[in-house]
Amino acid sequence: METSTLGFDFKGAPSLKAGFKITGQQTREFNETWTMPWGEQREVVNHYRELRVNLQERSGLKRQMNLVFRVFDDGLGFRYEFPKQPSMSEMVITDENTQFQLTSNPMCWWQPGDWDSYEHLYSTTRFKDIDVAKRLKDGNLAISSIKDNAVNTPITMKTDDGVYLSFHEAALYNYPGITLQIFPDKLMMMSKLVGTDFGYRAKGCGNRSILHGAQFRLPTAQGSSLSRSCLVNLNEPNKLGDVSYVKPTKYVGIWWGMHLGIVTWDMASGRHGATNRKR
């Protein structure tokens, strides 16, 4: 990664992207092993080093923002935090400007940005050859597709020297998901928030916490599949308490029945497929 810019644009307020001073910083190390109630991995190691940087604008509204970085053995994540403050009692975010500036033209596995579907086929191309408009012309996109040259996350890459990278997000609380807008000639990606029809992307009070994560895996003799523990650990621990009552089981959806004409998705037909009746 090369130097990449960060920041936000707001409705009714100046952008938050430059003119900061560092007012403090804290570091810590954390190490625990916790147990998943179910899934493909039973014991999960959550070991990271954290850097929290406290920033404040030098002039103007003198707004405060924290950047928090967590570095794991198999990846890293960073979080924007907005402390509670009078100048940001309510935020109306029109754009998030998080950049990822690459240093090479890796092979990528990607699917088009679409705000309500992850069911598109993946394409395998070099970064500079990512062309969502071509996929649109091929008729493979729904009407909900992001019209910019954007891809859904995760987008996975492999560099020519065998390093795998995957970019995704975690810990989304009252905040929209991202797609990543691709700038092929610049070898750069920028966050493209899934938006609304009201002229903004996100709205809420201060103390906002937004987190993005990236995983990497160096080539090994055993292969280079990505570990999932980094992104899992970037989310908050379970707050529900005892979840032993949840029993994973098999599920058969209604989609094949719809394709065969046995059931429908409308209530008026009387043949709605979402039912607990045995067939």
**14 prior amide bond cis, ω within 30:** no
Can you tell me whether residue 213 is helix, strand or coil?
strand
Cα(105)–Cα(165) distance, rounded to whole angstroms? Answer: 13
CB atoms within 10 A of CB 272: 13
- What does pTM read for this prediction? 0.83
Q: Could you tell me which of 115, 88, 123, 124 has the C-alpha nearest to residue 206?
A: 88
Percent of the chain at pLDDT exceeding 90: 43
Longest Cα pair distance anywhere in the chain, in angstroms? 68
Q: Strand order of the sheet with strand 150-152?
A: 99-101, 188-193, 178-183, 150-152
Q: Where are the domains of the chain?
A: 8-246, 249-279
Query: How large is the C-alpha radius of gyration of the chain?
Result: 22
> pLDDT tens digits, residue range 108-130?
999 988 877 787 888 999 999 99
> pLDDT tens digits, residue range 188-218?
999 998 877 778 888 876 556 667 777 766 5
Task: Give me the pLDDT at residue 205, please.
Answer: 61
> pLDDT tens digits, residue range 36-90?
887 778 899 999 999 999 999 999 999 999 999 999 988 889 999 998 898 888 8
Looking at CATH, the fold of the domain delimited by 8-246 is given as Beta-galactosidase; Chain A, domain 5 (2.70.98)
Angle among Cα 113, 205, 100 to the nearest 5 degrees reads: 35
Residue range 171-195: mean pLDDT, rounded: 90
Query: How do 8-10 and 123-126 pair as beta strands?
Result: unpaired
